[in-house]
Structure 1
Amino acid sequence: MRKETGIILAGSVGVLIGLTLFGVRKFLLKKSKEYDEYYADFHRHFERKNKDEANDGVEFLAVR
């Protein structure tokens, strides 16, 4: 095999590996984003609580 052919082959393999890794990363981030969007509302109500509120009633039972 000539030197030029080896360089072209190595470059092609490198580009193919790079595109594969980029595609897998994009796919995994999409799955994570869909998961986060679905479950974001469940935790949003308990992120910032007002400390002046009394813990009683339904809110107290929901926190426990």
Structure 2
Amino acid sequence: MKRGHDFGESRVVCNAHWDSDVKMGRVMGKAAVDCLWTNSDFLTDWNGVEKEIQQIFDSNSE
């Protein structure tokens, strides 16, 4: 999160974007993620990824 925030701030400092562009990008990003957390297809995929990652961790600990 900090790296993303710093990247947005650097866009303003470098005069590549206005501060309002960066702020609204953060608002839109949060809205998109909030929407995903209510989407059943996304949640199914997310749960599958969690299981895959756990299997990788389990196989690497052997």
Q: TM-score, normalised by structure 1?
A: 0.37
Where relative contact order (Cα < 8 A, 6+ residues apart) is larger, the structure is 2
Q: More helix by proportion, 1 or 2? A: 2
Larger Rg: 1
